A and B are shown apart, each in its own frame.
Chain A
Amino acid sequence: MAVARTSMKGDRRKAMIWSYVFLGMFVVFFLTPPVYMLITSLKSNAEISAAVSPWWIFAPTLENYVELLSSPTYLTFFRNSALVSILVVTITMLVSIPAAFALSRMKFWGSATLATGVFLTYLIPETLLFIPLFKIFVFVHDLTGIELINRWWVLVILYPTLTVPFCTWIMIGYFGSIPKELDEAALIDGAGYLQILTKIFIPVALPGIIAATIFAFTVSWAQFLYPLAFTTSADQLVLPVGIITTLIRGDVFTWGQIMTGALLGAAPPLIIYAFLMDYYIAGLTAGATKG
């Protein structure tokens, strides 16, 4: 028995050591691109095109960062991205919190169908919608004279289609887990629906709201197809598209600047992730398990 136990312990130990070995390998695989971005961003153009090891920085320099952060075009991309993301997050929350409250508590005609509809909408990818939306926007322009193509704010109209369904869906889950006794008690005390929402549901489901906010922000920040299809002039572009269309001029790739731009563009979601990792992961797993 004692032998069996020590061998089991030994097996555990062996499994653990191998786990570390493989984890190390996967971390290298997963972190190579971002680390390589950082390496390249700290090199001068001369060093990048020199025949030396691409994996080592021989003469670290911040010139790429200085150049990008003092370039009005790049700062415009950053501003557009930030504006779009903040507006989209605000709209998403204003739409999905009341909707999730209604769907989880008020049983009205068609509410079950609507909840399913929300989920189905989440499954429809933007790659199916951008062409008809493009044409619809052209129609709107012909009818009303409002130009929607090549305006950064049109993204504020488009992105909620990506964020609202998912956020509503996970908020329904969070709200549904709040015991009914809480709102009944509040009703007896004379609270209205609005008070129940602001005084009970929002505070109690705050972790869910934070997770949904993070989701909405990262989706808006990363979205690539809509801005690529709907905006073209440099002053209307957001970061992902801006970096790809303006820093790559024809066949000339200024890789130091491209990597710096991409790394700075990846920074906001990475920073949020670093500080709010638990909420970030809660939002990720909620989508599939809360259903």
Chain B
Amino acid sequence: MALPLILIIVLLVGYPALFSIHMATLNKSMERFVGFENFTFLFSRETFWMVVRQSVVFAVTAVVFKALIGFCVAHFVHNIPAKGQRKWRGMLLVPWVIPPAMSTLAWLWLFDPSYSAFNWILEGVGIAPVNWLGDPNWARFAVILVNVWFGAPFFMIMYLAALKSVPEQLYEAAAIDGANWWQKLWYVTLPMMRNIIAITVLFSLIVTFANFDIVRVLTAGGPVDQTHVFATWAFKLGIESSDLPLGAAVSLFMFPILAIAAIFILRDINQRGNEA
């Protein structure tokens, strides 16, 4: 009964994953084995190191802010009376529901060089317009902002579920012992949520590190390749410039972080499996 599942995993995931390693050792027309030439070529290019840096900065900054905002918003929702929570939660999850390629178009239009609705507000309060996607630093800020906007609601939902599972007695006991809100947060909430925080951060790190949609639609890697992450650069080299092996080599650099995150997640799951 599990045969179709095995076929999908082996033929459409396992085989391509291994094949991409083989591909990365071939020349552009894929007729000749070149060993590590693709990699040494990448290492010699400045753009590659820029992409490495941008991928790391993009993923780490975005995940940190998603986690922080998600954590705060989950607390705000948790603080209000139970009967209103559903409505707020419903509105707050909307960014996660809209397909990212579609919502990023809205952001692209909000950042438009000549009609930017944000600049219109800025001008209204007397601030010079910002070249959101044309200036490299603002463009880097913009892709991170959109990613945080898209991902924070997911963290909010996960943390809210975790908050609800913390037994009320623990807070009562802490209150009797004279704990202030900070101590309650540090000694009760955070330890109880440790697992869920770890696993959502790891998940999100994987997804954000491998992000494609947002960067592709918002900046397509520009200006001058400054906002490329591994996935968008691999697409540009592999599909648009039809150098598939080089694209495969670039995308393989996503693998180490994936493997590390996967090991941690699996360890956590096994531990919980043993406890149960």
Residue of A95, A127, A168, A240 near B254 (CB, 8 A) is A127
Residue of A26, A127, A168 near B230 (CB, 8 A) is A127
A266 within 8 A of B: yes
Given A20-B80, A121-B13, A266-B103, the answer on whether A288 and B158 have CB atoms closer than 8 Å is yes
A132 within 8 A of B: yes
Is A240's CB under 8 angstroms from B8's CB?
no
Chain B, interface SS category: helix
Is A16's CB under 8 angstroms from B266's CB?
no
Is B230's CB under 8 angstroms from A101's CB?
no
- Bound complex: CA of A71 vs CA of B90, how far in Å? 33
Is B210's CB under 8 angstroms from A128's CB?
yes
Residue of B79, B196, B213 near A16 (CB, 8 A) is B79
Q: How many inter-chain residue pairs (CB < 8 Å) link A and B?
A: 270
A218 CB, min distance to chain B CBs, angstroms? 7
Q: Which residues of B contact A29 (CB under 8 A)?
A: 149
Residue of A37, A48, A127, A273 near B97 (CB, 8 A) is A273
Interface string of B248-265 (1 = CB under 8 A from A): 100110110010011001
Is B213's CB under 8 angstroms from A225's CB?
yes
Q: CB-nearest residue of chain B relative to A12?
A: B79
- Bound complex: CA of A27 vs CA of B95, how far in Å? 10
- Bound complex: CA of A36 vs CA of B103, how far in Å? 10
Q: Which residues of B contact A157 (CB under 8 A)?
A: 12
- Bound complex: CA of A262 vs CA of B103, how far in Å? 7
Residue of B72, B199, B247 near A288 (CB, 8 A) is B199
B9 within 8 A of A: yes
B227 CB, min distance to chain A CBs, angstroms? 16
B182 within 8 A of A: no
Q: Which residues of B contact A120 (CB under 8 A)?
A: 262, 266
- Bound complex: CA of A237 vs CA of B161, how far in Å? 38
B9 CB, min distance to chain A CBs, angstroms? 5
Q: Which residues of B contact A287 (CB under 8 A)?
A: 203
In the assembled complex, 25 residue pairs joining A and B whose CB atoms fall closer than 8 Å, in A order, are A16-B81, A23-B76, A23-B77, A23-B92, A30-B91, A34-B103, A94-B4, A96-B5, A99-B1, A102-B2, A123-B206, A123-B265, A127-B211, A131-B238, A135-B19, A157-B12, A161-B8, A224-B99, A229-B239, A253-B109, A273-B93, A273-B94, A273-B97, A281-B89, A291-B272
| Interface of A toward B, CB cutoff 8 Å | 15-16, 19-20, 22-23, 26-27, 29-34, 36-37, 40, 48-49, 53-55, 94-96, 98-99, 101-103, 106, 111, 114, 116-121, 123-136, 157-158, 160-161, 164-165, 168, 218, 221-222, 224-225, 228-229, 240-241, 243-244, 253, 255, 258-259, 262-263, 265-266, 269-270, 273-274, 277, 280-281, 284-285, 287-289, 291
Q: A20-B76, A158-B12, A273-B94 are in contact. List 16 more A-B contacts (CB 8 A).
A: A23-B77, A23-B88, A54-B115, A106-B1, A111-B2, A116-B266, A118-B5, A127-B211, A128-B254, A136-B19, A160-B12, A222-B101, A224-B217, A277-B86, A284-B157, A288-B158
| Interface of B toward A, CB cutoff 8 Å | 1-2, 4-6, 8-9, 12-17, 19-20, 23, 30, 69, 72-73, 75-77, 79-81, 86, 88-95, 97-103, 105-107, 109-110, 112, 115, 117, 120-121, 149, 152-154, 157-158, 161, 196, 199-200, 203, 206-207, 210-213, 216-217, 230-231, 234-235, 238-239, 244, 247-248, 251-252, 254-255, 258, 261-262, 265-266, 268-269, 272-273
